[in-house]
Amino acid sequence: MDGTLISPIRSSIESPHLNAVVKNGFNPEKKYPGLLGSTDFEVISSLISLYPSKENEDILGKCLKDLDDISLSLYDSNSFLLCQGLPQALIKINELGWDNGILTGNTNLRMLKKLEILKIADYFNKDFMFSCNLKDTRENITERAKKTIILAGHSNSFIVGDTPRDISVAKKYGLRVVAVSTGSFSLKELENFAPNLLIRNLEDDLDIFLNFTISLV
């Protein structure tokens, strides 16, 4: 499951990524389109890319650390919304013999805090939780996840995500992908990237989703 299947509902709270770079002396434009599906590192790097002379590993690492601290201060029980039908889908998939994992662009701390708040950590196999480290792109994390899954002896795997980048990166690494239109992209927009399966959400189309997983075995 891609981390974007958990949606923020902090509309009145400033972006923690923006706050993190501002804390380190940068003042980028508040709009940064085209970053949906990006990792925390990619977002931070993009926000300070207008300051190339100051963009270095130490600064990026400090911004990521501050991102963790700021996020912890912002997150509460009303910060996130689960993808429609997600808990039930996770239970059903597990009953079919699959291990549930996470592939997210969030840092490990931000991932774990979200799972804690939403009380869904126990649905996932802790050996298959892949998050963002310093310098990690979506491609880096996906490649690491694929290698780990193969080394664990699993021949079948697929990604569930809700952005075009989730689809394109999964396909780049030869992974099947289910696209869910519960995020910022419509069914039509996601269809253009040719996922293996396209559904509205994991509640209304749960049977379609489960039949797809059964067909892979």
Judge whether 1 lies within some domain: no
Residues 208 and 106 in one domain: yes
Question: Which whole number is the average pLDDT over 58-75?
Answer: 93
Question: Which whole number is the average pLDDT over 74-79?
Answer: 81
- The residue range of the domain holding 60 is 9-74
Judge whether 99 lies within some domain: yes
Residues 152 and 191 in one domain: yes
pLDDT of 13 strictly over 80: no
CATH number at residue 116: 3.40.50.1000
Judge whether 3 lies within some domain: no
Q: How far apart are CA 204 and CA 75, in angstroms?
A: 29
Residues 145 and 67 in one domain: no
Neighbours of 100 (CB within 10 A): 18
Residues 51 and 126 in one domain: no
Boundary (domain end) residue, out of 29, 55, 74? 74
Is residue 105 within 8 A of residue 38, CB to CB? The reply is yes
pLDDT digit string (tens) for 91-150? Answer: 999 999 999 999 999 999 999 999 999 899 999 999 999 999 999 999 999 999 999 999
Residues 139 and 122 in one domain: yes
pLDDT of 88 strictly over 90: yes
DSSP 19-30: HHHHHTT----S
Of 109, 104, 154, 150, the closest CA to residue 129 belongs to 104
Boundary (domain end) residue, out of 74, 97, 119? 74
Judge whether 185 lies within some domain: yes
pLDDT of 11 strictly over 70: no
Q: How far apart are CA 42 and CA 133, in angstroms?
A: 11
Boundary (domain end) residue, out of 22, 39, 74? 74
Residues 64 and 147 in one domain: no
- pLDDT score recorded for residue 84: 86
pLDDT band at 4 (very low <50, low <70, confident <90, very high): low
Residues 107 and 167 in one domain: yes
Q: How far apart are CA 175 and CA 173, in angstroms?
A: 6
Residues 67 and 86 in one domain: no
Domains identified in the chain, total number: 2
Residues 186 and 108 in one domain: yes
> Which residues make beta-bridge pairs with 6?
82
pLDDT digit string (tens) for 149-197? Answer: 999 999 899 999 999 999 999 999 999 999 999 888 999 999 999 999 9
Of the given ranges (42-46, 77-81, 205-209), which has the lowest mean pLDDT? 77-81
Tokens representing residue 204 in the block: 């209304």
Q: How far apart are CA 103 and CA 187, in angstroms?
A: 22
Residues 55 and 132 in one domain: no
Residues 172 and 118 in one domain: yes
Residues 91 and 44 in one domain: no
